[in-house]
Amino acid sequence: MDYALALLSGVLLTLSFPKFGHPAFAWVALAPLLASVLLPGAAARRSALRAWTLGLITGFTYFAGTIYWTADVLASYGGLQRLVSVLLAALLVAYLALYPALFALIVARVAARLSMAAACLTAPAIWVATEWLRGVLLTGFPWVLLGYSQTDVLPVAQLASVTGVYGLSALVAASGAAVTWVMCTRRARAWGAVGGVGLVVGLVAFWGRARIAADEWTAKGTPLTVGIVQGNVPQDQKWDPEHAAQIFDRYLRMSRRVVQDGAKLVVWPESSTPFRLEEDRLGRRLIGEIAAAGGASMLIGSSEVARTTAAPPRYYNSAFMVSPVASGSTPVYRKMHLVPFGEYVPLRRMLFFARPLVEGVGDFTPGDALGLLPVGGHRVSTAICYEIIFPPLVQEAVARGSELLTTITNDAWYGYSSAPYQHFEQARLRSIEQGRYLVRAANTGVSGIVDPYGRVVVRTRLFQTEVVVRDVRLIEERTLYSRVGDVFAYACLLLTGLMVVLVRPRRGGKRRRG
C-alpha cells in the first residue's frame, strides 16, 4: 500500500504540469507520499531505507512523466540507438529522483525523532530546500519545480513577486502536508492546519487578484514596440549548407515586415543565423541595413568563436545586439548556463557507450559575464534557452539595470511534446518575479510576450512561421523579490539544516512520538 501511495504522488505531480496536466492536482500531490511515510501503521517500519525508497518511487514517476521527452531528443538528434537513449534518460530521471527521496528521508526522521506534527509543519520548507539543491548542484536542473504548476493561476502566482517560485512551491507543499496530517491523525489541530493553509491561500489569491486589478506595472516605464521573428526552421535543415541562404533570407524578409510595422526592437531566436555572425561580413551588413532603415535594434542569436594563437578556439552560444547606428563593435551576451549533453558533455571519457552523442556535441565555453544590451539608451537582458529557468541569473540582470527581459531559444528538438509548453510556463514566472515584460523568441515556438503580472499578451503556435509585433514597456521599478532574491529559499534551507541536526541519529537515543 505504501508503494502505491508513493507512486500516486508521482502521478499527481506529473499531472500538475503542461501540456496535459492541471494545476489543481499539485495541491494534493505530496499527500500520498507523506502519508506513506507518516501513517501510524507505518511507524513501526519507518526506517531510513524505506522512506528513501518511497521518495525514489515518487521522484522517478514524477520526472519520468514530465521529462520523458529527453529520450526522444537523444535518439532523434543525438544519433543514439533507442535503447541507449532510454538508458541515458533513465539515468537523468534516477538522479533527479534523489531529491524527493531526500525529502522523504528527512521528513521521516523528523517524525520519528520529534513528532508527526513537526514533520508536517516543516515538510514545505524541506521540499523547498531539496528543490533549491536540485537547482544548484552539478550545475543545476530546476525544471518543473512544484511552484511552476501554478503559473497559470495568476492570483496565486503573484506571490512570486515576493518570494520567487520557491514561495509557490512551499504554499503548494503546505497544502499536501495539511491534508496528510488530517489523514494520519484526524485531530482537531490537524483540521486547524488545513483551515490555516486554506486561509493563507485565500489571502494570497485575494491579494494577487487585487494586485492584477490595480494594473500599476503596465503603466510604468517607457513604451517600446517589439517584433518577434519565429522562423520555424526544421532542426534537420538548421545547419545544412544547402538551406543556409533560404533560412537567412526568410529571417531578413520577416524582419523587414516587423520593422515596417513599427518594431524598434526585433528579436530572433537562439542560433538563428546559419553562420557565425561576427565572421560573416555580408550577413552583418544585411542585418545592419534593416536595422538602420527602420531605426530598430536587432537581437540576433548566433554561435560565436573566439580565436587566439596561444590557445584552442573557444565556442560560445551568443546573442548579438545590432544597433541601427553603425559602430565599431557589436554588443554581445554569451550564454553562461550550458545545457549538459546539448552544449557540452560532462564525464565525456566515461560515456563510451554513448559515443555518437559524445562525438556529436561540441564543447561550448560558458560566458563569464552577465552583460546588458543597449536599446536606444535603455538596457535589456537576455537569457538563452534554458537559462530562463534559473531565477538568480534573471534577478541579477534586473539588479544591474535590465528594463526588459528577453529570452531566445530553439525548442525544435522537443517536437510536440510537453517540453515547449513547460519551458514557456516557466519563463512566464520570471515576469512576475521581476516586474518586467518578457519577450520570448523560439525557432519553432512557443514565442510570445508576457506582461509583469504573468499575463500572456500574445503567443504563437508550435511549428508555424509567424511574426509578432506588440508594445511593451521598459520598466525601472523593482519588485521585492528582485531586491532580495531567494531569501525565502535560504530560510527554508536553514530550517531544513536545523531539522537535520536535531534528528541526526544518536547512540542510545529514544524516539518521541506525537
Strands (E), 395-498: 405-409, 438-442, 448-450, 456-459, 466-474
Helix/strand number for the chain, H first, E second: 18, 12
Distance CA 56, CA 241 (A): 46
Residues annotated catalytic, as ranges: 270, 335, 385
Bridge partners of residue 369, in order along the sequence? none
DSSP codes of every residue in 455-474 = -EEEEPPTT--EEEEEEEEE
Distance CA 165, CA 132 (A): 10
- Which residue, among 271, 300, 274, has the nearest Cα to 288 in the 3D structure? 300
Distance CA 134, CA 128 (A): 10
Reported as type and span, the H/E element at residue 203 is helix 188-214
Instruction: Classify residue 244 by burial, with Cβ atoms within 10 Å: 0-12, 13-18, 19+.
Output: middle
DSSP-derived secondary structure letter, 344: B
Instruction: For residue 226, give every residue at least 6 positions away whose Cβ sits within 8 Å of its Cβ, in sequence order, or none.
Output: 263, 264, 265, 266, 267, 439, 449, 469, 470, 471, 472
How do 405-409 and 438-442 pair as beta strands? parallel
Spatial contact of 436 and 405, defined as CB atoms under 8 Å apart: yes
Distance CA 500, CA 388 (A): 32
